[in-house]
Protein backbone atom coordinates (compact mmCIF):
# COMPACT_ATOMS: atom_id res chain seq x y z
CA UNK A 1 0.00 0.00 0.00
CA UNK A 2 1.21 3.49 -0.86
CA UNK A 3 -0.21 6.71 0.55
CA UNK A 4 0.14 10.16 -1.00
CA UNK A 5 -0.99 13.21 0.93
CA UNK A 6 -1.82 16.67 -0.33
CA UNK A 7 -3.50 19.84 0.86
CA UNK A 8 -1.21 21.22 3.53
CA UNK A 9 -0.22 24.86 3.70
CA UNK A 10 -0.36 28.00 5.78
CA UNK A 11 -3.52 29.59 7.07
CA UNK A 12 -4.48 32.17 9.66
CA UNK A 13 -6.11 31.22 12.92
CA UNK A 14 -9.80 30.53 12.47
CA UNK A 15 -9.29 29.38 8.91
CA UNK A 16 -9.76 26.02 7.22
CA UNK A 17 -7.75 23.47 5.26
CA UNK A 18 -8.59 20.12 3.73
CA UNK A 19 -6.04 17.34 3.55
CA UNK A 20 -6.31 14.43 1.13
CA UNK A 21 -4.72 10.99 1.26
CA UNK A 22 -4.85 8.79 -1.83
CA UNK A 23 -4.18 5.10 -1.31
CA UNK A 24 -2.96 2.63 -3.92
CA UNK A 25 -1.80 -0.96 -3.92
CA UNK A 26 -3.29 -3.80 -1.85
CA UNK A 27 -5.88 -1.69 -0.11
CA UNK A 28 -8.37 -4.55 0.23
CA UNK A 29 -6.56 -5.68 3.39
CA UNK A 30 -6.99 -2.38 5.20
CA UNK A 31 -9.45 -1.92 8.05
CA UNK A 32 -8.71 1.67 8.93
CA UNK A 33 -7.16 4.88 7.75
CA UNK A 34 -6.09 7.63 10.06
CA UNK A 35 -4.48 11.03 10.35
CA UNK A 36 -1.67 11.68 12.80
CA UNK A 37 0.25 14.86 13.46
CA UNK A 38 3.60 15.71 14.97
CA UNK A 39 4.59 19.14 16.18
CA UNK A 40 8.24 20.07 16.84
CA UNK A 41 9.46 18.48 20.05
CA UNK A 42 6.29 16.49 20.57
CA UNK A 43 5.28 12.90 20.02
CA UNK A 44 3.21 11.88 17.04
CA UNK A 45 -0.46 11.84 18.02
CA UNK A 46 -3.55 10.36 16.41
CA UNK A 47 -5.92 13.06 15.22
CA UNK A 48 -8.72 11.03 13.70
CA UNK A 49 -9.43 7.63 12.24
CA UNK A 50 -12.08 6.12 9.99
CA UNK A 51 -13.07 2.51 9.52
CA UNK A 52 -12.79 1.42 5.88
CA UNK A 53 -15.52 -1.17 6.44
CA UNK A 54 -18.38 0.77 8.00
CA UNK A 55 -17.22 4.40 8.02
CA UNK A 56 -17.25 4.82 11.80
CA UNK A 57 -15.05 7.75 12.83
CA UNK A 58 -12.87 8.21 15.90
CA UNK A 59 -11.78 11.82 16.38
CA UNK A 60 -9.42 12.83 19.15
CA UNK A 61 -10.91 15.00 21.88
CA UNK A 62 -8.65 17.89 20.85
CA UNK A 63 -10.26 18.14 17.41
CA UNK A 64 -13.87 17.13 18.04
CA UNK A 65 -16.21 19.69 16.55
CA UNK A 66 -13.44 21.17 14.38
CA UNK A 67 -11.96 18.37 12.25
CA UNK A 68 -13.92 15.90 10.16
CA UNK A 69 -12.52 12.76 8.60
CA UNK A 70 -14.28 11.23 5.61
CA UNK A 71 -13.63 8.78 2.82
CA UNK A 72 -14.39 8.30 -0.86
CA UNK A 73 -14.16 4.58 -1.52
CA UNK A 74 -14.46 5.01 -5.28
CA UNK A 75 -11.32 7.15 -5.25
CA UNK A 76 -9.56 5.25 -2.45
CA UNK A 77 -9.09 8.60 -0.77
CA UNK A 78 -9.49 9.82 2.78
CA UNK A 79 -9.94 13.47 3.68
CA UNK A 80 -9.41 15.56 6.78
CA UNK A 81 -11.44 18.75 6.80
CA UNK A 82 -9.94 21.10 9.38
CA UNK A 83 -11.95 24.10 10.51
CA UNK A 84 -11.44 26.70 13.25
CA UNK A 85 -7.71 26.11 13.12
CA UNK A 86 -5.51 27.44 15.91
CA UNK A 87 -1.72 27.87 16.13
CA UNK A 88 -1.68 24.74 18.32
CA UNK A 89 -2.72 22.73 15.24
CA UNK A 90 0.58 23.55 13.54
CA UNK A 91 2.34 20.27 12.77
CA UNK A 92 3.29 17.83 10.07
CA UNK A 93 0.22 15.75 9.31
CA UNK A 94 0.66 12.13 8.32
CA UNK A 95 -1.80 9.76 6.71
CA UNK A 96 -1.72 6.19 8.00
CA UNK A 97 -3.23 2.89 6.91
CA UNK A 98 -3.53 -0.26 8.96
CA UNK A 99 -5.09 -3.69 9.05
CA UNK A 100 -6.04 -3.07 12.69
CA UNK A 101 -9.34 -1.40 13.50
CA UNK A 102 -9.20 2.25 14.55
CA UNK A 103 -9.08 1.80 18.34
CA UNK A 104 -6.02 -0.42 17.98
CA UNK A 105 -3.92 1.93 15.88
CA UNK A 106 -0.97 3.49 17.67
CA UNK A 107 1.79 5.61 16.19
CA UNK A 108 4.62 3.22 17.02
CA UNK A 109 3.01 0.33 15.14
CA UNK A 110 1.31 1.75 12.05
CA UNK A 111 1.53 -0.48 8.98
CA UNK A 112 1.91 2.24 6.33
CA UNK A 113 2.73 5.95 6.54
CA UNK A 114 2.38 8.71 4.02
CA UNK A 115 5.20 11.20 3.50
CA UNK A 116 3.59 13.94 5.60
CA UNK A 117 2.34 17.40 4.78
CA UNK A 118 3.04 20.60 6.70
CA UNK A 119 0.19 22.58 8.22
CA UNK A 120 1.06 25.97 9.67
CA UNK A 121 -1.48 28.15 11.46
CA UNK A 122 -0.46 31.72 12.19
CA UNK A 123 -1.95 33.81 14.96
Q: What does the pLDDT look like over 25-82, one tens digit per residue?
A: 878 788 999 999 999 999 999 999 999 999 999 999 999 999 999 999 889 999 999 9
Between CA 47 and CA 110, with CA 52 as vertex, the angle to 5 degrees is 50
Among candidates 24, 20, 18, 16, which has minimal Cα distance to 6?
A: 20
pLDDT at 73: 87
Residue 110 CA: distances (Å) to CA of 26, 48, 96: 16, 14, 7
Going by pLDDT thresholds of 50, 70 and 90, the confidence category of residue 103 is: very high
Element (H, E) at 67: strand 67-72
User: Alpha-carbon distance 24 to 83, whole Å?
Assistant: 27
Phi and psi at 3, nearest 5°, equal: -125, 135
Amino acid sequence: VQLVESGGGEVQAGGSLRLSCAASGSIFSLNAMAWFRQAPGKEREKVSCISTTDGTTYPADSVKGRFTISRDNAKNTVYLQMDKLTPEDTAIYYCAADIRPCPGIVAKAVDVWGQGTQVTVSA
